[in-house]
Amino acid sequence: MYKTLMLAIFVLLAVVRPGASATLTPKEELGKLLFFDTHLSKEKNQSCATCHQPPGFADPLNAAMPQTEVVSRGSVGGLFGVRNSPTVAYAAFSPHFHWDREEGLFIGGQFWDGREPTLKGQAKGPFLNPLEMTMSHGGAVVESCRYPGNQLSKRYIELFRQVYGVELAEANLEDRIIASAFYDMTADAIAAYEKTWEVSPFSSKYDYVQAGKATFTPQESLGLKLFNGKGLCNKCHISKPGKSPGGGMIPPLFTDFTYDNLGIPRSMNPVLAKAPVDLGLGGRPDIAAIDPKGLQKGKFKVPTLRNIGLTAPYGHNGYFATLTEIVEFYNTAGVRGRWPKPEVPQNVNREEMGNLKLTKKEVAAIVAFMHTLSDGYGKPLSGIVLPPFP
Ligand code: HEC
Ligand code: HEC
């Protein structure tokens, strides 16, 4: 078992090798090097990419064993995260977290509960998270960039000079203000990388079909029809193109970045079974303070479905090991006795899901359609322009 596990990890790591790409700007290249650098964790064994590995940009170990590995392991052995690692691909499109007056809804932000308004702010979290990369402080992350044992140190020194006009090798990182300014630059560069084509390539079969360069199988076509029809999936996983702030067209992202409680049951996984109830958006102290009725309890951000075939298991707690299981849940969640009770009973959405009456064949078609959303069907298509990001 252990051997198979190690082999699986090795194979997965071997497929995708980091390396500077000719098409990246120096800032994006710096961000990419930081994103893939395992030196920047306590045990020098974990990078952002460990939990966000291309092409799915989620945790490959979870995807390989979705029945048992539902949350990521930390840099320090025996520690685990509390939620399933989502994809980082297309995260750059999430608007800054805000209350939308017209819709009367919270929208956007990073993480399942949107608690970090921006990508740059998000990028400072994982290095210091005790359940993730476990570094003691920002200065320690910067120190690990220039530490001579890090084979990238020379390149980092060049890139910090080129991009930010600063001398990494000579910086006094004992000085908190200097250390924090450098740490800020690392987050800025990582966010810049997360906004590139490499992370949001729009290169799936779905995109090829839209461009007239491929055709769906009859099953995939049926799946798309059901996705937008009987399945009601497009009510939240929007399948229409969006508009960019600059006026350009953004291919569908399969999310509206709003929040909903699907009524997912509590995880029985030993790592999560004893965790406190996860209230999602409504569990954030800042939201709880302005939400006395608890209307946001149990709500989690609608995730993109791009690359969904590569990022098992599913749901914020990884409750569903396969796509078939989660679609079956949408199909029958409201049917008495079919599923264990929701972890958070308030605010469960029963209008747009729960008793869809999809047949087995229809469930399979929706799953087949979702598999067309995996990037890497071909090269990124020309003609799609990435917008100015939020
Ligand atoms: C140990 C695994 C792990 C590591 C290492 C890790 N992440 Fe994550 N990442 C997660 C988990 C789990 C979440 C969701 C947490 C939550 O919602 O509370 C997440 C969420 C995110 C999100 C939000 C995506 C969205 O759609 O809301 C981004 C962006 C992200 N991570 C980027 C990074 C970056 C950049 C790094 C490196 C600095 C990193 N992650 C390192 C596990 C990890
Ligand atoms: C009412 C809004 C809504 C509708 C309708 C909806 N979804 Fe979702 N979907 C969500 C939310 C919110 C989540 C995250 C919930 C959580 O983890 O607690 C989610 C999660 C998912 C996930 C798991 C994503 C991941 O990264 O783990 C898949 C797959 C999915 N939905 C597919 C579908 C399909 C297929 C349909 C139609 C049968 C559908 N959804 C209908 C809101 C919706």
- What is the CATH classification number for the domain harbouring 248? 1.10.760.10
Q: How far is the CA of 85 from the centre of ligand 1 (A)?
A: 6
* Of the listed ranges 73-77, 122-126, 140-144, the one predicted with least confidence: 73-77
For residues 171 and 221, membership in a common domain is answered with no
- Tell me the pTM: 0.92
317: how many CB neighbours lie within 10 A of its CB? 24
* pLDDT of amino acid 389: 81
Q: Which ligand is nearest to the CA of 106?
A: 2
Domain encompassing residue 142: 2-86+119-194
Collect all residues with Cβ–Cβ distance below 8 Å to 92 and sequence separation of at least 6.
Answer: 119, 191, 194, 195, 199, 200, 389
Collect all residues with Cβ–Cβ distance below 8 Å to 342 and sequence separation of at least 6.
Answer: 261, 263, 264, 265, 298, 348
319: tokens are 């409750």
Phi and psi based region of residue 105 (left: phi greater than 0; alpha: psi -120 to 50; beta: remaining): beta
Question: What would the pLDDT profile of 297-321 be if each residue is shown by its tens digit?
Answer: 999 999 999 999 999 999 999 999 9
* pLDDT of amino acid 17: 30
The preferred substitution site among 127, 132, 258, 302 for testing ligand 1, maximizing ligand atoms within 8 Å of CB, is 132
Domain stop point among 194, 219, 254: 194
Q: How far is the CA of 48 from the centre of ligand 1 (A)?
A: 7
For residues 356 and 221, membership in a common domain is answered with yes
pLDDT cut 70: percent of the chain above it: 94
Q: How far is the CA of 273 from the centre of ligand 2 (A)?
A: 22
Band the pLDDT of 26: cuts 50, 70, 90: very high
* pLDDT of amino acid 380: 86
Mean pLDDT of 350-368: 94
Any residues with Cβ below 6 Å from ligand 2, and which?
A: 86, 231-233, 235-237, 260, 262, 264, 300, 302-303, 305, 308, 311, 314-316, 323, 326-327, 330, 349, 352-353, 366
For residues 189 and 48, membership in a common domain is answered with yes
